[in-house]
């Protein structure tokens, strides 16, 4: 069974940083492309960032490019999103999502709140 | 970036009736189109992939169709558990963009 467990959410100040992690199990992690998708309170889904499997590239939404960095550690089966220069509009539940063709499994999400 | 547009934003349907949701892509995505169902407080779940392949956990009343730029999700006879928000997503190219969602509510 695929399991994706996000952690690292919480309260951050504008301009601050947070680091999200996603612990994966139940599939061959190194082969899988992975993404982060967020959902602001009461809003729709927004794809944020993705990383290819097996040494594939990294990809970002325009809204986060230059501020967020996605990485993966295949030995630890962990996906990470480093979020810098946070803004109020980054407030959302952040989901870890497995797969690319198509994205097929979602974690339960971790809440990030950016507020002073 | 491929822009995905869903219509309508809200669909009011009586139980037992048919619901038809639309999704349009700003350029061709072939059949690389997924539909997700999201209920309040829950993560989205993959409902349809490849534009028309239903996930096995969902009943046969759900069907998807289309290719290129025009796609449709049909729920043949709405049940109480189907009232939710439905999102389309293209996965033909990065970034993997979503539509803004269609809320299916009880009429």
For residue A110, the model assigns a pLDDT of: 98
pLDDT digits (tens, 9 = 90+) for A69-94: 999 999 999 999 999 999 999 999 99
Chain A nearest-CA distance from B89, in A, is: 9
In angstroms, the CA B107 to CA A43 distance is: 22
B 73-102 → A contacts, CB under 8 A: 85, 87, 89, 91, 94-101
For residue A28, the model assigns a pLDDT of: 96
User: Per DSSP, which regions of B1-107 are E strands?
Assistant: 4-7, 10-13, 19-25, 33-38, 45-49, 53-54, 62-67, 70-75, 85-90, 102-106
- Mean pLDDT of the region B72-101: 96
Using the 8-state DSSP alphabet, how is residue B8 labeled? -
b/e B47-85 (16+ beta carbons within 10 angstroms → b): bbbbbbebbeebeeebebebeebebbbebeebeeebbbb
pLDDT digits (tens, 9 = 90+) for A24-66: 999 999 999 999 999 999 999 999 999 999 768 999 999 999 9
Set of chain A residues whose Cβ sits within 8 Å of the Cβ of B100:
44
pLDDT at residue B77 greater than cutoff 80: yes
* A109 in contact with B, Cβ within 8 Å: yes
Q: What percent of chain A shows pLDDT beyond 70?
A: 99
Torsion of CA A88, A91, A96, A101, to 10 degrees: -70
For residue A88, the model assigns a pLDDT of: 97
* A87 in contact with B, Cβ within 8 Å: no
For residue B29, the model assigns a pLDDT of: 97
Which chain B residue's Cα is nearest to A39? B43
pLDDT digits (tens, 9 = 90+) for B16-72: 999 999 999 999 999 999 999 999 999 999 999 999 999 999 999 999 999 999 999
pLDDT at residue A9 greater than cutoff 90: yes
């Amino acid at each position: 069974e695929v399991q994706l467990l996000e952690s690292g959410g919480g309260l951050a100040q504008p301009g601050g940083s947070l680091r999200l992690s996603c612990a994966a199990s139940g599939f061959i992690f190194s082969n899988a492309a992975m993404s982060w998708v967020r959902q602001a309170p009461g809003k729709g889904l927004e794809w944020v960032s993705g990383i290819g499997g097996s040494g594939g590239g990294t990809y970002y939404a325009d809204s986060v490019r230059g501020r967020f960095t996605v990485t993966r550690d295949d030995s630890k089966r962990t996906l990470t999103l480093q979020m810098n220069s946070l803004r109020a509009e980054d407030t959302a539940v952040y989901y870890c999502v497995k797969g690319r063709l198509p994205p097929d499994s979602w974690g339960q999400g971790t809440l990030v709140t950016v507020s002073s | 970036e491929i822009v995905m547009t869903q219509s309508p934003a809200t669909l009011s349907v009586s139980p037992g009736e048919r619901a038809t949701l639309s999704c349009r892509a700003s350029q061709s995505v072939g059949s690389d189109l997924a539909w997700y169902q999201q209920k309040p407080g829950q993560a989205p779940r993959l409902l349809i992939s490849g534009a028309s392949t239903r996930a096995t956990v969902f009943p046969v009343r759900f069907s998807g169709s289309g290719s290129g730029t025009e796609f449709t999700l049909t729920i043949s006879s709405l049940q109480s558990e189907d009232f939710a928000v439905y999102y389309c997503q293209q996965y033909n190219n990065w970034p993997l963009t979503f539509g803004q969602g269609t809320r299916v509510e009880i009429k």
